[in-house]
Amino acid sequence: MVQVPPSRGSRRVTDFLVAHFNLVRGLHILSVIAFMAGMLYLPRLFVYHTQAEPGSQMDETFKVMERRLLRGIINPASIATALFGLGLILADAQIRGWSFLLEPWMATKLVALVGLYGFHGFLSASRKKFEAGQNTRPEKFWRMVNEIPFVLAIVIVLAVTTKFLNH
């Protein structure tokens, strides 16, 4: 197999990421905090929105709050989280090689991330249904799914901090 050396530009990027690994990690953590705060708050807003009379002032207020939370905090924070996370992956690959992506702890984190971003998509679609007055899910449903982001966060954090099943 022929290996193509990285271009000078990509080498500079990975060198920068390695040299500033702690900065990138810190920015990743901060963006995760904002992302998770929004992901935990939006379903809670849905709980209260189910109690509002359609067409009422409260219904309209929830629509505005949900839209601003999603577009102003959750979406930008999810993008920042992904970008800084990719930066960390590139830096780690430069430091110890790409094989770390196949370690059980990292595979677990990546699967949980797919679930978290999938849930993000579900919440986004649900917000559109609330805005169109088409929500059919009861308050109890939103109370239960409100816990999903936190459970996924526990899995992700424990996978990374304990590096379980590492031999």
Q: What pLDDT was estimated at residue 143?
A: 97
Alpha-carbon distance 56 to 123, whole Å?
22
Report whether pLDDT(167) > 70: no
Q: How far apart are CA 135 and CA 42, in angstroms?
A: 14
Cβ atoms of residues 81 and 32 within 8 Å: yes
Q: What is the pLDDT of residues 87-140, one digit of tens each?
A: 999 999 999 999 999 999 999 999 999 999 999 999 999 999 999 999 999 999
User: Half-sphere exposure of 45 toward its Cβ, with a 13 Å CA cutoff?
Assistant: 25
pLDDT at 150 over 50: yes
Q: What does the pLDDT read at residue 4?
A: 45
- What does the block give as tokens for 160? 């990374």
Residue 155 structure tokens? 């899995």
Fill in the DSSP letter of residue 2: P
